[in-house]
Structures are given as structure tokens and as C-alpha cells.
């Protein structure tokens, strides 16, 4: 390689690494400074650092795209990145770009939102530590560093969740998250050790390239898949460890946005990063499929029965994380990455614009119950979507379960067509619903090259049957709840789902037993006025 070109690549890779390191240093400086003017300078520097990180990630993506067409070693970026402990692949670029962008947006929002808040000085350093830890997590090539960054994210986030220590529900959410995270940390470390025992190295590229060891299989590899699956389940707030996610609304809006958009999805990223080290379908895949699928079904049905917009958003996150883990369990890694990125951007916007979300929700809430007319439009669009997928099954990777999910999504979008709309408007809205199929195909085409191919991955019949059963259950229960108000026999179903089937109660009681002292509001906080509730927080 040309020495100048090599030096340029090394400089870009070094900058990619140094920017998160700079965020750590800036966090320490911010916590040490007492002068408000200098702290304000740190806020501006943090914004520029996140913008620079996003720009460098985009440059890395461009370099990855043109690398195959420049001649020479097609893996030279990965080779050079290894000198800095980096793993510059498509997944790392997409994730780093998304995290830096969302971090920058949340930082700008928080600068104004917390302008007169007594917790402002504590927010910035822990926010920067959280974002920097996520960035290190997504592009490191060493599993011990990955595990350390994983632990660092949860510890820093704990300080953000306790920003308002006089709110009992916020303390409950923080304590539950702390318990779940410590168990998850132990599981991740155990998984890393199990992978080391099988491969004899902590370096991820060496594991991926060692096809012989991967094909052989071992007890250590099976154990790694199980404990890493359980770690992902805990990180993604899957049932029955989901109660803290609903209560996290008591934290400031920027913290909620960061959690829902950039942290809770790390369980999915963990598997997107590590799935190449496993040989096909594992016990961990089955755990993700079953728990993720069941959580998605319960959370979706609970979400559509909620009156509170913010609670509906929280249950939506729980459901979307369940779907993402379900997709990983079925081997649809490209779909899972697309789901992760889209959900992060959507949730960041939803929380940061939550005041507008309340107004829009009130303006667009249809007073009429589901009618035969709306049901017919949903059925028609669903049939059109199914016809497209029958002709082009590659859109859903020839997987009938994902095809059924996409058809359900199109039908659900069509169910939102207002009964009072004109026929022309209904046709346009139905057409937009059907366009979800080619839109998904386009996004799949754009994201697909970032995900490593895994040859020989075969989904066993029991996994396909379980997936089909869960999708059918979701469709049937959704219809029962939608039309349940008309039938006394099914009306009670919506009441119980509105409470999440009470599945969080056992963990709530365990938390109260294990951490009774931590849940008490210290006397020093009882008389300290906290940041007043804003309009969007009352919703």
C-alpha cells in the first residue's frame, strides 16, 4: 500500500478511537470544574466532539464501501484497525454513526431542558461516560474491552436514572435496573470466558476466522450462547424483568430518550456482533426466539390498551426489543440491525418531542371502535402485501414467519384509516400501507452488506413452529382486544392486558425485599425541590 494512503487510514482510525477517549476526559473535566462558564464551554466541546465522531464514522463507512474497488488487500481497514484494537466493519460504522448522532441531538436538547435544573451539573459527565462507553463497545475487537464497556454503560446510566433522587418511582426503576444489570454483567463476563475457553483468544477477528474451531462445537460454546442470550434478554428489558423500563419515565426526558434510543438495544447489538462465532442455530437462539417472541406479543397487546402516551411508548420499546431478539433467534440478522437502527431514531424523536406527541395523539385518536369498513381495508392491504411476498419471497429471506409479520404490519397500518375519510383518501392511505413492503426491501438492500454472511444456518422445525405460533397468537389476540368492547366475554381481556398481565409483580416484590433501604428517599432529598414536572412528563 502507498505509505501516504496507509498513513491517512491510520490517522482516521486513530481519530475514530481518540474521540471517545476525549469524551471520557471531558467527562472528568466537567465533573471537576465548578465555574459555570467553563462548564458551559464543556457542553459546547461535547457537542463538537460528538459531531466529529459522527463525521469520522461516515468517512469510515465510505472507506468500507470503496475498499473492494481500490485493489490490494480487501481487508486492509480491518488489519490496520487491529493495531488500535478496532473492528471497523459495517455494523460498527452504522452503530457508531447512530449513537453519535443521537447523542448529539440529546445533548442539544438537554442543554436547554436542564438549563435551570439543579441536576444539570451531574447530567453532563455521566451522559458523556455513557455515550463514550457505547462507542467503545460497538467498535472494539477485544472481548474483554467489550465486557468492560458493557459494564461501564450500565454503571454510568445508573447515575443518570437517579438524577431526581426524591422521586420514589425513579429510585425503584434505578434499583431494579441496577440489579438486572449486575446479573447481566456477570452473564456477559461468563460468556466471554466461555468463548475464550473454546477459541483460546479474546480477539473477535481471530474467532471469526477460525472456522475449524467453530464447526467443531463444544460445551463451552453452548454455554456461551446460553449466557449471552440471557444477558441480552436482561439488557433489553424482556418480561418478567421489564418493570423498571415502565418506571424510567420518572427520569428526565433526555435520560429516557438516551435509554430507549441508545442503551436498551445493546442486547441486540451484542448478538449482532458475536453471532459469527457460533455454528448455526444454538440453544441461545432458541432462548431469544421464545422469550423475545412472548415478550413482543404481551407488550404489543399491553401497548394498544394504554391511555398514557409515555407508558405506551415504554411498552412499545419493550415490544420492539422483543421483536428484535425474536428476529435474531430466527437468524434474520439484517432485519434485526434494521430494526435496531430504525427503532433508535424513532424513539429518540418520540421522547424528545413527547409534548408534541401528546397533542398529536389527542388530535388523531379516533373515537369510533374498529368497524367492518376499516377491517376490510386492513384485509385488502394485507392480501396485497401477501401477494407481493409470494411473488418475491427473497424480500423476507424466504421465511414465512417474517412474511406473516410484515403482512400484519401492513394490515395494522391500514387499521388506522379513519372511517370518516373519503374514498380517495382511504385509497391513498391504503397504498401507503402497501408501500411498506418495497420500502422494507430497499432498506434491507442498504443495510444488508453490513452484516456478515453465515453459511449453513438452518432453522429447525421446532423454531419455525414456535415462531408461527407466536405470530398467530399476536394476530388473534390483537383482534380480540380491538373488538373486545363489543363482547362482554372478551372485554376483561383488555383490562388485564392494560396492567401487563401483572407479570412485573414478582420482580417488584423481590426488589423490595433485596433493596428496601436503597428504595427509601434520603432525608436530604425530601425537602429539596426537584425540577418541576413539564407538560410532557405529566402525560
For 140, phi and psi rounded to 5 degrees?
-80, 150
Distance CA 192, CA 279 (A): 16
What is the CB neighbour count within 10 angstroms for residue 398? Answer: 10
Are the CB atoms for 297 and 473 separated by under 8 Å? yes
Per-residue pLDDT at 211: 72
Per-residue pLDDT at 192: 93
- Inside any domain, residue 275: no
C-alpha cell at 291: 422469550
Distance CA 424, CA 159 (A): 52
- Inside any domain, residue 439: yes
Residue whose cell numbers read 424513539: 347
How far from the centroid of its chain's Cα atoms is residue 74's Cα? Answer: 31
Structurally, the chain folds into a number of domains equal to 2
Distance CA 30, CA 131 (A): 15
Per-residue pLDDT at 518: 59
Are the CB atoms for 500 and 311 separated by under 8 Å? no
The Cα-based distances of 383 to 334, 406, 427, 471 in angstroms read 25, 11, 15, 17
- According to DSSP, residue 203 is labeled B
Residue whose cell numbers read 441531538: 105
Distance CA 275, CA 415 (A): 37
- Inside any domain, residue 134: yes
Per-residue pLDDT at 49: 92
- Inside any domain, residue 241: no
Q: Which domain holds residue 67?
A: 10-141
Of residues 325, 353, 276, 314, the one with CA closest to residue 109: 353
The stretches of 304-415 forming alpha helices (DSSP H) are 309-329, 333-352, 354-364, 372-391, 400-415
Kindly calculate the radius of gyration of the chain based on its CA atoms and give it in whole angstroms.
Answer: 24
Angle, in degrees to the nearest 10, between helices 372-391 and 400-415: 150
Show the beta-strand stretches assigned E in 390-526: none
Cα atoms found within 13 Å of the Cα of residue 318, Cβ hemisphere only: 32
484, containing H or E segment:
none
- Inside any domain, residue 478: yes
- Inside any domain, residue 322: no
Residue whose cell numbers read 418520540: 350
Distance CA 308, CA 311 (A): 5
Are the CB atoms for 298 and 493 separated by under 8 Å? no
Show the beta-strand stretches assigned E in 117-256: none
Distance CA 111, CA 120 (A): 8
Per-residue pLDDT at 483: 64
Contacts of 313 (CB under 8 A, 6+ apart): 260, 347, 350, 351, 354, 357
Contacts 24+ apart (CB under 8 A), 392-398: 392/441, 395/437, 395/440, 395/441, 395/444, 397/332, 397/334, 397/335
Contacts of 276 (CB under 8 A, 6+ apart): 207, 208, 452, 454
Instruction: Convert 490-517 to b/e letters by CB count within 10 Å (16 or more is b).
Output: beebbeebbebeebbeebbeebeeebee
Picking from 141, 164, 185, the residue at the C-terminal end of a domain is 141
Q: From the DSSP assignment, how many helices (H) and strands (E) are in the chain?
A: 27, 0
SS3 per-residue string spanning 17-71: HHHHHHHHHHHHHHHHCCCHHHHHHHHHHHHHHHHHHHHHHHHHHHHHHHHHHCC
- pTM, rounded to two decimals: 0.85
Q: What angle do CA 132, 145, 152 make, to 5 degrees?
A: 45
C-alpha cell at 62: 465510505
pLDDT per residue as tens, the chain (539 positions): 678 877 788 888 888 889 999 989 988 888 777 777 887 888 889 899 999 999 999 999 888 888 877 766 667 888 888 888 888 888 999 999 999 999 999 999 888 888 877 778 888 899 999 999 999 999 899 999 999 999 999 899 888 887 776 677 777 777 888 888 899 999 999 999 999 998 888 998 888 887 776 666 688 888 999 999 999 999 988 888 887 887 777 778 888 888 888 888 899 999 999 988 887 888 898 999 999 988 988 888 888 777 777 777 888 888 889 989 998 988 888 888 988 998 888 888 888 886 665 555 554 444 444 556 667 777 788 888 888 888 888 877 777 887 888 888 887 777 766 666 677 877 887 788 888 888 888 888 888 888 887 776 777 888 888 888 888 887 777 676 666 556 666 666 666 666 767 777 777 777 777 666 656 655 554 444 444 444 344 44
Picking from 141, 162, 192, the residue at the C-terminal end of a domain is 141
- Residue 198, classified by CB atoms within 10 Å of its CB into exposed (0-12), middle (13-18) or buried (19+), is buried
C-alpha cell at 451: 452484516
- Inside any domain, residue 49: yes
- Residue 529, classified by CB atoms within 10 Å of its CB into exposed (0-12), middle (13-18) or buried (19+), is exposed
- Inside any domain, residue 404: yes
Amino acid at each position: 500500500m502507498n505509505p501516504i494512503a496507509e498513513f491517512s487510514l491510520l490517522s482516521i482510525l486513530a481519530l475514530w478511537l481518540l474521540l471517545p477517549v476525549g469524551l471520557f476526559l471531558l467527562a472528568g473535566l466537567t465533573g471537576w470544574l465548578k465555574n459555570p462558564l467553563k462548564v458551559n464551554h464543556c457542553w459546547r466541546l461535547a457537542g463538537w466532539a460528538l459531531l466529529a465522531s459522527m463525521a469520522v464514522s461516515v468517512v469510515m463507512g465510505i472507506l468500507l464501501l470503496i475498499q473492494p474497488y481500490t485493489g490490494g488487500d480487501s481487508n486492509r481497514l480491518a488489519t490496520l484497525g487491529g493495531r488500535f484494537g478496532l473492528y471497523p466493519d459495517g455494523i460498527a460504522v452504522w452503530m457508531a454513526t447512530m449513537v453519535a448522532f443521537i447523542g448529539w441531538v440529546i445533548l442539544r436538547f438537554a442543554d436547554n431542558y436542564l438549563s435551570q435544573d439543579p441536576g444539570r451539573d451531574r447530567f453532563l459527565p455521566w451522559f458523556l461516560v455513557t455515550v463514550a462507553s457505547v462507542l467503545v463497545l460497538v467498535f472494539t475487537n477485544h472481548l474483554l474491552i467489550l465486557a468492560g464497556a458493557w459494564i461501564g454503560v450500565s454503571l454510568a446510566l445508573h447515575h443518570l436514572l437517579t438524577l431526581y433522587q426524591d422521586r420514589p418511582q425513579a429510585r425503584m426503576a434505578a434499583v431494579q435496573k441496577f440489579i438486572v444489570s449486575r446479573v447481566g454483567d456477570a452473564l456477559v463476563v461468563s460468556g466471554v470466558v466461555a468463548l475464550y475457553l473454546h477459541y483460546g483468544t479474546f480477539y473477535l477477528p481471530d474467532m471469526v476466522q477460525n472456522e475449524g474451531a467453530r464447526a467443531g462445537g463444544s460445551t463451552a460454546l453452548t454455554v456461551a450462547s446460553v449466557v449471552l442470550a440471557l444477558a441480552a434478554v436482561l439488557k433489553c428489558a424482556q418480561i418478567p424483568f421489564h418493570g423498571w423500563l415502565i418506571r424510567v419515565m420518572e427520569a428526565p426526558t433526555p435520560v429516557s430518550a438516551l435509554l430507549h434510543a441508545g442503551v436498551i438495544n445493546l442486547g441486540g447489538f451484542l448478538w449482532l456482533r458475536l453471532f459469527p462465532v457460533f455454528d448455526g442455530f444454538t440453544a441461545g437462539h432458541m432462548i431469544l426466539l421464545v422469550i423475545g417472541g412472548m415478550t413482543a406479543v404481551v407488550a404489543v397487546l399491553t401497548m394498544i390498551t394504554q391511555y398514557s402516551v409515555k407508558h405506551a411508548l415504554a411498552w412499545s420499546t419493550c415490544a420492539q426489543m422483543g421483536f428484535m431478539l425474536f428476529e435474531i433467534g430466527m437468524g434474520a440478522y439484517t432485519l434485526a440491525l434494521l430494526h435496531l437502527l430504525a427503532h433508535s431514531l424513532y424513539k429518540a424523536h418520540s421522547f424528545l418531542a413527547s409534548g408534541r406527541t401528546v397533542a398529536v395523539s389527542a388530535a388523531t385518536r379516533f373515537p369510533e371502535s374498529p368497524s367492518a369498513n376499516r377491517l376490510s381495508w386492513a384485509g385488502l392491504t394485507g392480501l396485497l402485501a401477501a401477494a407481493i411476498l409470494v411473488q418475491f419471497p427473497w424480500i423476507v429471506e424466504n421465511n414465512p414467519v417474517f412474511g406473516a409479520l410484515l403482512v400484519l404490519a401492513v394490515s395494522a397500518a391500514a387499521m388506522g384509516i379513519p372511517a370518516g375519510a373519503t374514498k380517495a383518501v382511504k385509497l391513498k392511505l391504503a397504498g401507503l400501507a402497501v408501500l411498506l413492503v418495497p420500502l422494507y426491501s430497499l432498506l434491507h438492500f442498504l443495510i444488508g452488506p453490513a452484516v456478515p454472511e453465515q453459511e449453513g444456518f438452518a432453522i429447525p422445525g421446532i423454531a419455525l413452529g414456535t415462531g408461527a405460533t407466536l405470530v398467530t397468537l399476536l394476530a388473534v389476540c390483537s383482534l380480540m382486544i380491538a373488538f373486545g368492547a363489543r363482547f362482554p366475554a372478551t372485554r376483561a381481556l383488555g383490562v388485564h392486558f392494560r396492567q401487563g398481565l401483572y407479570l412485573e409483580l414478582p420482580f417488584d416484590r423481590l426488589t423490595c425485599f433485596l433493596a428496601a433501604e436503597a428504595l427509601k428517599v434520603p432525608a436530604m432529598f425530601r425537602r429539596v425541590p426537584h425540577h418541576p414536572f413539564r407538560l410532557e412528563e405529566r402525560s
